[in-house]
Structure 1
Amino acid sequence: MKTFKMISISLLGLFLALSANVRAQDPITAAPNVYKKVILDNDKVRVMQVEFAPGDVAPWHSHPDHFAYALTDGKLEITDKDKSPVVAEIKAGEALFLNATTHMAKNIGETTLKMIVTELKATKKN
């Protein structure tokens, strides 16, 4: 019985460690290789400079409602939580609105995709 209990505790620890890796983080923390810098951060929005070199991956991270403006063309494979991957062919000058999400992304194209991502912050009602 003692051995079974120790195995159960070990398996629980392994599960918690693995699930911590899947838990989404702030994009700046999760993918500093892609989310290069915060351009503006105030009580209304957070604006970030994003650069995905070919093959770059932004591991699991979360955003509130946000929009992205593409500075260059690019091709991303985006996987939203509990969904199959989707390929997005993004064109320079394109603006996208995205609902709050937890996802990961990979540049599967041959060029560096540069974007400005603006997260909307919840506003307090008087």
Structure 2
Amino acid sequence: MKNYFPFFLILLILVGCNQQSETMNQDVATTDTTAEEVSEQRTLPDYDPAMDLTIMDVEGIEVLGDTLGVKMYIGTLQPGDSVGWHFHPDHTVYVIEGGTMEVYFKGMEKQTMELTSGVGFISPSLSDAAVNTGNTTIKLLTHDIYRPRE
């Protein structure tokens, strides 16, 4: 008689994965919210919707998506371009095209940053302003993560 244990083990794993996938799909379906509902949930410290970079009149911002409390956008700064004071909730940044940038963080000294293409980082919520002081175009992919705070 053949040993069917490996077959049954694979079958159990596949059934378990399918059930987990269905549960995840149900969770996503029940948490799908509109942009307006997410905006109402954006109760972050110091959050001022008027300081949201993606709704300010700033050239070089391309919003790629805004759903389930995550706003994804690409910001492009040509040499000499600047962006005024704005607010980020918790966020990630991925450097698509690097360069030299002076960044002003609220309550801190100016920082000169050498951004290298292909590098990413995670940051807590903050207010900042920036100037592209180099001679290359800087392109950043940013994910702002809006989570209700207690």
Distance 1:31 1:94 in 2: 27
Alpha-carbon distance between aligned partners in 2 of 1:92 and 1:31, rounded to the nearest angstrom:
26
Q: Match for 1:117: what amino acid?
A: T
Counterpart check, 1:29 vs 2:58: no
Using structure 2 for the length normalisation, give the TM-score: 0.62
Distance 1:111 1:74 in 2: 6
Counterpart of 2:104, as a letter, is: T
Q: Which has the higher helix share?
A: 2
Shift of 1:29: 3.2
Verify: 1:47 aligned to 2:72, yes or no.
Answer: yes
Identity of aligned residues (%): 26
Q: Which has the higher strand share?
A: 1
What runs of 5+ residues in structure 1 fail to find an aligned partner? 1-23
Q: Please give the per-residue CA displacement for 1:14-44, whole angstroms capped at 9, x wherever unaligned.
A: xxxxxxxxxx711123352132x11010023
Q: CA RMSD in A?
A: 1.9
Alignment of 1:1-126 (within 5 A): 25-30=51-56, 32-35=58-61, 37-122=62-147
- The total of aligned residue pairs comes to 101
Q: Which of these two proteins has the greater Rg computed from alpha carbons?
A: 2
Q: Please say if residues 31 and 59 of structure 1, whose CA atoms lie closer than 8 Å, have aligned partners that are also in contact.
A: no
